[in-house]
Structure 1
Amino acid sequence: MQLMLKDLPILEINEDGKCKVLDFDRLSFPLRKEKISFIDFVEWASNRTLSLGRSFAKEILNTLRLSQTNRYAVCKACRGLSLEDCYWLRQDEDEKQWEEVNLFKTPLSLFITEVSLSGTNIHYVKNEKEEIHTPELTTLGASAKGWIRKDGNLYLHKVGKYEIPADQILSALNIPHIHYKGSKSEEIDSYLSEERKEWIESTGEMIVNSKLFTSESISLVTFEDFCIFCEIYGLNPYEEAVKIDEEAYLKIQIADYILNNNDRHEQNWGFFMDNATGKLTGYCPLFDHDHAFVDYDRVMSQTSEKERTLYEAAISAQKELQLELSVFENMDCPEFLSEKQWVGVLERGKKLL
């Protein structure tokens, strides 16, 4: 078996499980060490696949008749292909090239998107030669979501109305982030039944979408993967994160406090990697805010090395940045926020002035 970066073999695993590094500089960050064990490789491959904590994960796996306990087997079944990067697994009998398996360009299986967003169990009969070709098995996160191609671009559709007001607030603060918009009826109709749409609306939620922010040139390196790399070399990941771009790092602290976001875990922020060189190029814009605007105080920061509340982390960051926060004075309450939630945003902004 080979670990590929597009058409470039970068790691070879023989029948005995011995790993041979072919291109160290372009290995995935958690694998960047001189001696990689088979256990290291299996752990890396397993972590690429969706967890059972994701909405409708069981339904996705059941539809494709895949294991719910063996994430490594799931990874091999879909070649480990992801839209976060261009790594994939080519087994010995596999003669495919990158252009044939490339998720960025090749057609996706839309029925899996329906399962991913609706939880509908579909009776799917796969013929012997048909292969699993979907990014849904390697799309991380807990919310119901699915990928749709439109006008030559890929969009992630997900259940999460709070992405819309978070987008407006971060835009006002001039903090780099991924933009979201409400999905149109004709888009939703292609993968959701009327019953499922009505159920989502009855819960007060909605389907939103964002354009894919990675490409065949640029990959996402999550902070989780960056931490594994830093541990290998005895580095402090938080100190290294500051070295990469201190301003971007501090803006995360302010953004999460203003939004009262309790879900900035290690897979929800990170960096961009240039696929040609394997080098980090800077921070990825902020994304995934569907769990923002929680209704309790003293939310703990997940991006600080020391144990701090979001407020404590933001106060420290604002002393350095002096970010312009008076922008809220001219803003109306964003759509989908209650008056109470908006007052909370305004109050948090005033506390940082």
Structure 2
Amino acid sequence: MSKDIPVAKITGFYVEVLRPDLLPLAIRTPEVDFDRIYHGWIETRIMSMGRSNAARIMDGFRLPRSNTYAAAASMHFASLSDCYWIRQEAENISWEYVSLYRADISEEVAETSLFGKKQMFHGHIHTPEPSTAGLSAKAWYRNADQKLWLYKIGKKEVAASKILDAIGADHVPYLDASNELRQKAEEEQIRKIYERNEKLVKCPIITSEQRSIVTWYDYEEHCDDEHVNPYTQIKRNPKYHEMQVCDYLLGNADRHGENWGFYIDADTGKLGDLHPLFDHDHAFSEDARIVAQTTEHNMSLKQAAIQSLPYAGRLNLNAIRTMQHPEEITEEQWMGVQQRAKVLIGERVRQREEER
């Protein structure tokens, strides 16, 4: 289902495509079969047991830890990335009932997902946790403004957000939410966070019932079906080149194909622009040999940034020279950012001199 529109009917292992134009992008082909739906879509909606507190989430649902499929299935495989879901033909339910955008999110599950609280979940549960990607502790809350916010334990993303703000990059803002800890966590949980010298951080949701996101991996799958090179168009997009520069500047070692991608119109299935940058909890690496994960050919993060510099002119790298040291990172990490900014600024000068 895409909202209340049936897009494919699965009977046994046979798939009847009803709306090929509205299928999830990674499996958008009239010849899609059950194997592609299961391994190319359903498996992406299932929580990894490698995720922090995953075992306690499964315990709370009173499900075997080996059966994360059942947890996602209980939410009809709905997520907060898009408006797709699955129902049995005989089920008399609609998108109104399933949508996580409209539901009262389960704070019980959020407490377990974010803080590792041991508890059983009761009543009818709506929660995105069984389908939220990534391995770090995180949870969704609907705040007093009735908007959805993603909460995480960490602090690097607040520093990254300040730096990206300063240089004018398009990114999801991460805010220090430590003043909300006593509203959401128990004393023992708070003590552990402070002992690890971490913080509670939050960022606003960037999707809606009108605007979904698809990952780069999904886009690559689609391009493979269409027999086109996925880098042909993306290399013409300034935001792509800005991402390369930002990741080198931040020392981001984790820009894999699931944490960057595109907006897509949830009603028409039409692909849009790259969504803002997010997920920087592995930034500020001191490894100078980080390999770029977002380029067509093998190269280092530094090489990718230098190659993209001519097409990322909107970024104000000089702002690093005047901004204050973000308190969330160490002096050594901040010096690393300044040094990488110096490299980029010098390279930009050299490239412009060569153009003359």
- TM bracket (short chain): over 0.9
In 1, the alpha carbon distance for the partners of 2:73 and 2:290 equals: 38
1:66 maps to 2:59: no
Once the two structures are superposed, residues 207-241 of structure 1 have per-residue CA deviations (whole angstroms, 9 ceiling, x without a partner) of 10011110000001011111111122222222232
Structure 2: gaps spanning 5 or more residues: 346-356
CA contact (8 A) 1:163 1:288 kept: yes
Moved more, 66-75 or 100-109: 66-75
1:175 maps to 2:169: yes
1:100-179 matched pairs, under 5 angstroms: 100-124=97-121, 126=122, 130-150=123-143, 151-179=145-173
CA contact (8 A) 2:62 2:120 kept: no
In 1, the alpha carbon distance for the partners of 2:151 and 2:165 equals: 20
RMSD of aligned alpha carbons: 1.5
Once the two structures are superposed, residues 80-115 of structure 1 have per-residue CA deviations (whole angstroms, 9 ceiling, x without a partner) of 010111111111232111112211111111100010
Q: For residue 256 of structure 2, what is the aligned residue in structure 1?
A: 265
1:71-110 matched pairs, under 5 angstroms: 71-110=68-107
CA contact (8 A) 2:241 2:308 kept: yes
Structure 2: which amino acid aligns with 1:135?
P
In 2, the alpha carbon distance for the partners of 1:214 and 1:142 equals: 20
SS in 2 for 1:89: coil
1:17 maps to 2:13: yes
Structure 1: gaps spanning 5 or more residues: none
Structure 2: which amino acid aligns with 1:96?
I
Once the two structures are superposed, residues 27-57 of structure 1 have per-residue CA deviations (whole angstroms, 9 ceiling, x without a partner) of 1011101112111111111211211121111
In 1, the alpha carbon distance for the partners of 2:140 and 2:239 equals: 28
SS in 2 for 1:104: coil
- How many residues were matched structurally? 342
Q: For residue 329 of structure 1, what is the aligned residue in structure 2?
A: 321
Q: For residue 246 of structure 2, what is the aligned residue in structure 1?
A: 255
Equivalent of 2:223 in 227, 230, 241: 230
In 2, the alpha carbon distance for the partners of 1:253 and 1:202 equals: 34
In 1, the alpha carbon distance for the partners of 2:232 and 2:118 equals: 46
The structure where helix makes up a greater share of residues is: 2
Q: For residue 34 of structure 2, what is the aligned residue in structure 1?
A: 38
In 1, the alpha carbon distance for the partners of 2:181 and 2:101 equals: 21
Structure 1 runs, 4 residues or longer, greater than 4 Å off: none
In 2, the alpha carbon distance for the partners of 1:179 and 1:101 equals: 28
In 2, the alpha carbon distance for the partners of 1:188 and 1:138 equals: 24
Q: For residue 268 of structure 2, what is the aligned residue in structure 1?
A: 277
CA contact (8 A) 1:49 1:75 kept: yes
TM-score normalised per structure 1: 0.93
CA contact (8 A) 1:46 1:71 kept: no
